[in-house]
Amino acid sequence: MKLKLLLLSPFLLLIAHAQGPTADQIVDRVTNIMSPENSHSKGSQTIITSSGKERVFEFESWAAEKGKSTLTRYTKPAAIRGQAFLMLNNADDIWSYFPRTKRIRKLASHAKKQKMQGSDFTYEDMGGGDVFQKKFKSRILTEETRDGAPTWKIEMSGIPEEDPPYPKIIMWVRQSDYYPIALDYYNEKDFNTKSLVLSDIQLIEEYPTAMEMVMTDNKERSSTTMRTLEITYAWEPPKGFFSERNLKK
Amino acid sequence: MRQRLIEKLADLAVNKTRTMLWIVAGVTLVTMILSGGMSMTPKWSDMLPEGDKRTIEFDRILEEFQSASSIIVVAQGAETDIKAFADDLAPRVLDSLTIPGKDIDPAIYVRRVDYKADLDFLKEHAFMLMKEDDLKNLKDVFQEPCLAGLLTNMNNSFEKEFIQPEESISTREEEDGALIFLNGINSWLEAMELTLKTGNIPAPTAEAAVDKLLLGEPYFLSYDREALIMNLIPTFSMIDAFMIVDGTDAVQAVLNEVLLDHPNVQAGLSGAIAVGRDEMVYSSKGLEISMGLSFFLIGGLLYMAFRMAMAPALALLNLIVGLIWAAGIVAVVVPVLNIMTAMFMVILIGLGIDFSIHIISTFTEMRAKGLPLLDATQAGLKKSGGGVSTGAVTTSVAFLALMVGDSRAMSELGLVTAIGLLAVMVSSFVLLPVFLVVRERRYAKKRIKKGLTKRAAPRDLTLKPLGNVGVFIQNNPWISLISVVVVTVLLAFSAREITFNHNMMDMEAEGLPSIMLQDTVQDKFDLSMDFAYLVSESVDESRELKNKAKELPTVASVEDISTFIPSDEQQARRVPYISEIHALMESADAAPIRQADLDLIRQEIERLEMNIMEFQSMAFLGGQDKVYSRCTEIVGSEEAPPENTIFTRIYGLHDQGPSIVASKLGVFQDSYAEYFKSSVLRMANTDPITLEMLPESIVDRYASKDRSLFLTTVLPSGNIWQDKLFMEQFSSELETVSERTTGMPVIMRALFDIIGRDGRNAAYLTLILVYLILLIDFRSFKDALIAMLPLATGAIWMVGLMQIFGFQLDLMNVMALPLILGIGIDDGVHVVHRWRLEGPRSAAIVLSSTGKAVLLTSLTTILAFGSMMFSPFRGYASLSWALIFGVGACFLTTMIILPAFMGLLDKKK
């Protein structure tokens, strides 16, 4: 019997390989790829204001513990230069520093579901961690080609007890490198309320990195473009870097 | 039979001239009287099928809900000026109105004017109308009336604003809420500044500041506070077409009068009724101009072509009589014309004149050959009559084929134009020969009077160059046909590229005052008029629809009566917070201000300034432009240190010395505190709100006249005109909420679908029917097919050329496609008729004679349609261009393809 199994095992492995990875395996890989330990980047954020004008901000951002802690400081334009946001515990705790009044204000924990600095991203969208693994159940819907790349189309259904950020997410994951290239977010009524497209994916220090992310809010008919101008994953946070005191610097 | 009828008509024209004239006069008089019953509707919904549920619902809304048919006054100027203007206009517009020179008795056109929020109702129930979250956040503000306490509580509440649940100021609703809060604070600070400056403050000023702080701005002001809207509720609705013009003119007259007393204010009328009035008046004027212009241009063209003054006069006179007959019959069949059918007269001018041209051409040709009057009349009618009657019947059948469609736009246009065309054809056969006979007799009498025995030498009125072109093509048929095929293939590719313009705004009249003000409302108030409607039968159902609609991705905001009548559960949940506010405020007192309190007051004012600055930063990051600019007005910008803001001025006034400042702030506190306390206690009313408690101004906005139906207005989150997919998504999503969804977006989406489908079906049917008629007429499959070839090719050329010249298809000009099938077929019919009459290798005479007539009729049609370009309705201009391309293309293809076939087929013979 054992011999039979031993003889069969290469075939079983082949079959398993031919069947491809499971949804959970894909989501695990995505989480790993999307959550480098630390990073330091410079980027720009383009929003459309309520009167239809385009506004571009530039910022410098630091992240540690796979995105659990982040600090973002705006550098341009002059109107908000120095304004900074500190997010700890995967955006459960958010502080903001206002250079004009020199005050630090804490935003309540439920602010993480709010739009982040007028963008179509929420604070939670920008928080890192293992949200996809812990708060969703995943299944592969189909395999399809998107933007010329073979992808897995994965449905992630929120686990109600885990307080998921969205009831449902559909994610397209590139088969070549397990990098997600698009995500559709759904509300309780199963309407596709937001869509994220990741593009210009470059391999930076062994991590595939989307240099451009466009989040479209299908209800507000607005979109936000986040562009990475510079990024390194070889950054180590000094002690006390992610602190209220450091917000003011 | 046709020949016998033609002979009889010719005989009657020559031998019973006077009787015929009397009969024509009688018919003309009767039809003229009948035509007086014709009217026009400016509603796009009247173009949808009659039984269409969206149209029925839309009409029901217009009839039942006063708010759906309002006249909007838009005033622009400084805030104080426009408010004074509104206060002045409101009572005067409610008086009985007379239109100078029109009415003897005064007429009441305006039932009510809404230009201020109903503060009395809000003062009684404002807290019950607040959302639970807002009550949680704002309850702090309403705890203490004393200055220090109020400032502290205001700051506490301000700092909470950052942590509002879920959406914060990310939506327009939230942004508006933030603006109300900021405006209230600013107004209250201004009252403080005034007291610090003068040591006194009038009670109404203090009370108005408190009202603004607690309830917001009562006037409907724009975001920049430089424009104001007044909503005039008329005694009539959009359905009452006649009242639209009279009522709007009457209001305009009062407005003009009031404006004389307010030289710094600019104001005008907009809204559904004023736009409807402008569209009716200007489109009628435009069509009148078009008709006049086309008569003038066609007359000039005919004069040049026939080289005699009487020919155009007779042709036009005959056309006018035919048009009167047409109008009389149409008034009975379709008494109310819609935007599309209103232009049938212009189409008839373009097409109807053709009959006269053909008949006059052949008559003068026969007379030129020296035939006696009766023979010439008979021969002339025979030569052109076949082509004219077949052409008229094929064109009429083509128009009647439009009736296959469901939309009234297309089916009624088909019906009225077909009837009109047949009426003009009849007048051309009955009246025109009589006119020609009368003219010939008068001419003969004149000659006798002058002692001339001989007729003037006959003039050759044919167009030789066209005949020469025909001969060349006839002799080189393959060159012509290959060229046509190549051009047609190229233009077919071009035609495939043509796009459809769904933007109805590009169709509307340009430069009309009411439309321009609509744009002002859109810009200054961020208010679109393109909303959809849902109707419900109870407040609860309305609330349910609202909640469902709000969830839709394509919906920006929803307004309905349930905003003013929260559900029983909602009201019950709010009661504890309201009771808490009541209890706290009841026990609170405003102790006199002492010098020792000044530091705290100053600190809290500075804290308030910092809060607004931080709010400003968040608004800048959040792209909330309106909040950002309002904050900037209050605290200055981040880049330049504030020098002259309300805060810097108040800080400056604090330098007057502690005792003076304490005393003046005491005066300020005394002026508002008691009113603030009593207002808050009044607002903290826990009585449940019921429908019966709502003021008329609110109920009228949402409820039908008998209060049995409730209106929900849904604003789309995107521009429905610039994104067709969005329009479709918005409409279909709303249809999942209610089957009875209606309104402009829904109606226009349906109209696009129905007109597209109707046009396609009508085009196919037209082609089949025209072929069958030609088959009956020619009794030859081949000849019928040949006569249709130039039309099919011309239709491809038309669309291809439109694309090349940068035109798009739209709701109006797409009608040109089935229309051109009816119009363009005439060219082929006339040429093939003449060719069969003249025999083989007759291109020279066919093209120089009939070809000239076809050229003339094409030019007259082009001139008639071209005159529509002067209509303020850009939709008419777009249709006009499409028809010009179509008529021109069909003429060219006829002149190239048919002589080539003459060459090919006659060679075989």
- Residue B657: pLDDT above 60? yes
Please, which residues bridge with residue A214 across strands?
Answer: A197, A225
Q: Is B688 helix (H, G, I), strand (E, B) or coil?
A: coil
Torsion sign over Cα B720, B725, B730, B735: positive
- For residue A169, name the pLDDT band (cuts at 50, 70, 90): very high
Nearest-CA distance A123 → chain B (Å): 12
Buried b (16+ CB within 10 A) or exposed e, B498-511: eeebbbbebbbbee
Nearest-CA distance B137 → chain A (Å): 13
Q: How many CA atoms lie within 13 A of B85 on its CB side?
A: 31
Residue A44: the pLDDT is 94
Mean of the per-residue pLDDT values for chain B? 85
Mean of the per-residue pLDDT values for chain A? 83
The β-bridge relationship of strands A180-186 and A168-174 is: antiparallel
How many CB atoms lie under 10 A from the CB of residue B654? 18
Residue B682: the pLDDT is 93
- The pair of three-digit structure tokens given for residue B517, joined into one six-digit string: 């003000």
Residue A6: the pLDDT is 41
Which residues have a Cβ under 8 Å from the Cβ of A108 and sit 6 or more positions away? B162, B163
Residue A89: the pLDDT is 83
What's the average model confidence in pLDDT over B475-500?
91
Q: What's the pLDDT tens digit per position in B748-776?
A: 888 888 888 888 888 888 888 888 888 88
Question: Using CB atoms, which residue from B175, B614, B624 is nearest to A101?
Answer: B614
Residue B264: the pLDDT is 95
Inspect the interface and report whether the beta carbons of B163 and A107 lie closer than 8 Å: yes
- The pair of three-digit structure tokens given for residue B493, joined into one six-digit string: 């590719």
The β-bridge relationship of strands B110-114 and B336-337 is: unpaired
Percentage of residues of chain B with pLDDT beyond 90: 26
Residue B100: the pLDDT is 53
Kindly list the strands in the beta sheet with B266-270, ordered across the sheet, starting from the edge strand earlier in the chain.
B110-114, B227-234, B71-76, B266-270
Residue B170: the pLDDT is 43
Q: What's the pLDDT tens digit per position in B222-264?
A: 888 899 999 888 888 777 777 888 888 888 988 998 999 999 9
- The pair of three-digit structure tokens given for residue B891, joined into one six-digit string: 């003429």
Closest CA to B606 of A103, A108, A81, A105: A103
- Residue A114: pLDDT above 70? no
DSSP assignment, residue B601? Answer: H
Please state, in angstroms and rounded to a whole number, the distance separating the CA atoms of residues B467 and B460: 13
What radius of gyration do chain A's Cα atoms show? 20
Q: What's the pLDDT tens digit per position in B823-878?
A: 888 888 888 888 888 888 788 888 888 888 888 888 888 888 888 887 777 888 88
Closest CA to B83 of B257, B264, B249: B264
- The pair of three-digit structure tokens given for residue B125, joined into one six-digit string: 């129930």
CATH architecture of B67-116+225-276: 2-Layer Sandwich (3.30)
Q: What proportions of chain B, in percent to the nearest 5, are helix, strand and coil?
A: 75, 5, 20
Which amino acid would we find at residue B159?
A: E
- Residue A10: pLDDT above 80? no
Torsion sign over Cα A103, A109, A112, A113: negative
Question: Using CB atoms, which residue from A114, A189, A192 is nearest to B168?
Answer: A114
Inspect the interface and report whether the beta carbons of B623 and A47 lie closer than 8 Å: yes
If you measure CA to CA, which chain A residue comes closest to B174?
A50
Q: Is A111 on the interface with B (CB under 8 A)?
A: yes
Closest CA to B818 of B477, B462, B475, B411: B411
Q: Show residues of chain A in contact with B551, CB under 8 Å.
A: 187, 189, 191
Residue B224: the pLDDT is 86
Q: Is A78 on the interface with B (CB under 8 A)?
A: yes
Which residues have a Cβ under 8 Å from the Cβ of A183 and sit 6 or more positions away? A169, A170, A171, A172, A195, A196
Lowest mean pLDDT among A220-229, B31-40, B382-391: B382-391
Inspect the interface and report whether the beta carbons of B638 and A100 lie closer than 8 Å: yes
- Burial bucket for residue B407 (CB in 10 Å: 0-12, 13-18, 19+): buried
Cα first-last separation, chain B: 30
Residue A197: the pLDDT is 93
Nearest-CA distance B185 → chain A (Å): 19
Q: Are B816 and B399 in contact (CB under 8 A)?
A: no
Residue with tokens 């600055």: B613
* Domain boundaries along the sequence of chain B: 17-35+313-380+400-459, 67-116+225-276, 121-218+567-688, 462-523+748-909
Residue B680: the pLDDT is 92
- Residue A9: pLDDT above 70? no
Question: Using CB atoms, which residue from A48, A50, A80 is nearest to B621?
Answer: A80
Please, which residues bridge with residue A57 across strands?
Answer: A45
Which amino acid would we find at residue B585?
A: M
Q: Show residues of chain B in contact with A49, CB under 8 Å.
A: 623-625
Which helix or strand (DSSP H or E) is residue A59 part of? strand A54-64
Buried b (16+ CB within 10 A) or exposed e, B440-465: beeeeeeeeeeeeeeeeeeeebbbee
Please, which residues bridge with residue A42 across strands?
Answer: A60, A230
What's the average model confidence in pLDDT over B435-461?
73
For testing contact with chain A, the best of B620, B627, B632, B720 (most A CBs within 10 A): B620
- Burial bucket for residue B138 (CB in 10 Å: 0-12, 13-18, 19+): buried
Q: Show residues of chain B in contact with A221, CB under 8 Å.
A: 717-718, 726
If you measure CA to CA, which chain A residue comes closest to B606?
A101
Please state, in angstroms and rounded to a whole number, the distance separating the CA atoms of residues A138 and B472: 77
The four Cα atoms A32, A37, A40, A44 give a dihedral, to 10 degrees, of 30
Please state, in angstroms and rounded to a whole number, the distance separating the CA atoms of residues B86 and B116: 9
Which amino acid would we find at residue B425?
A: M
If you measure CA to CA, which chain A residue comes closest to B615?
A98
Q: Are B40 and B238 in contact (CB under 8 A)?
A: no
Q: Show residues of chain B in contact with A215, CB under 8 Å.
A: none
Q: Are A204 and A210 in contact (CB under 8 A)?
A: no
Q: Show residues of chain B in contact with A108, CB under 8 Å.
A: 162-163
Q: Are A191 and A215 in contact (CB under 8 A)?
A: no
Bin A19: left if φ > 0, else alpha if -120 < ψ < 50, else beta: alpha
**Could you give phi then psi for residue B372, rounded to 5 degrees?**
-65, 165
Provide the angle, in degrees to the nearest 10, between the axes of the packed helices B874-908 and B816-838. Answer: 30
- Residue A42: pLDDT above 90? yes
Q: Is A192 on the interface with B (CB under 8 A)?
A: yes
Provide the angle, in degrees to the nearest 10, between the axes of the packed helices B310-333 and B17-35. Answer: 50
Which residues have a Cβ under 8 Å from the Cβ of A154 and sit 6 or more positions away? A23, A26, A27, A138, A139, A140, A141, A170, A171, A172, A173
**Could you give phi then psi for residue B107, rounded to 5 degrees?**
-120, 145
Same fold: B67-116+225-276 with B462-523+748-909: no
- The pair of three-digit structure tokens given for residue A121, joined into one six-digit string: 């991203």
If you measure CA to CA, which chain B residue comes closest to A216?
B553
Q: What's the pLDDT tens digit per position in B544-586?
A: 999 888 888 788 788 899 989 999 999 999 999 999 999 988 8
Inspect the interface and report whether the beta carbons of B551 and A191 lie closer than 8 Å: yes
Residue B444: the pLDDT is 78
Inspect the interface and report whether the beta carbons of B551 and A108 lie closer than 8 Å: no
Q: What's the pLDDT tens digit per position in B99-127?
A: 555 555 556 788 888 888 888 888 999 99
Percentage of residues of chain A with pLDDT beyond 70: 85
Q: Which domains does chain A have, with CATH numbers?
A: 21-229 (2.50.20.10)
Q: What proportions of chain A, in percent to the nearest 5, are helix, strand and coil?
A: 20, 45, 30
Q: pTM surpassing 0.95?
A: no
Question: Using CB atoms, which residue from A49, A107, A192 is nearest to B623?
Answer: A49
Please, which residues bridge with residue A209 across strands?
Answer: A202
What's the average model confidence in pLDDT over B629-648?
86
Q: How open is the CA angle B448-B454-B456, to the nearest 5 degrees?
A: 105
Bin A225: left if φ > 0, else alpha if -120 < ψ < 50, else beta: beta
Domain B462-523+748-909 of CATH type 1.20.1640.10: yes
Q: Show residues of chain A in contact with B614, CB under 8 Å.
A: 98, 100-101, 103, 105
Inspect the interface and report whether the beta carbons of A113 and B555 lie closer than 8 Å: no
Inspect the interface and report whether the beta carbons of A220 and B614 lie closer than 8 Å: no
- Burial bucket for residue B542 (CB in 10 Å: 0-12, 13-18, 19+): buried
Q: Is A55 on the interface with B (CB under 8 A)?
A: yes
Please state, in angstroms and rounded to a whole number, the distance separating the CA atoms of residues B458 and B49: 55
Please state, in angstroms and rounded to a whole number, the distance separating the CA atoms of residues B558 and B717: 11
Residue B350: the pLDDT is 82
Please state, in angstroms and rounded to a whole number, the distance separating the CA atoms of residues B546 and B334: 39
Question: Using CB atoms, which residue from A105, A218, A221 is nearest to B614?
Answer: A105
Q: Can you name the CATH fold of B17-35+313-380+400-459?
A: Multidrug efflux transporter AcrB transmembrane fold (1.20.1640)
Residue B167: the pLDDT is 40
Q: What's the pLDDT tens digit per position in B871-895?
A: 777 888 888 899 999 999 999 999 9
- Residue A4: pLDDT above 70? no
pLDDT: which is higher, B815 or B426: B426
Please state, in angstroms and rounded to a whole number, the distance separating the CA atoms of residues B391 and B385: 9
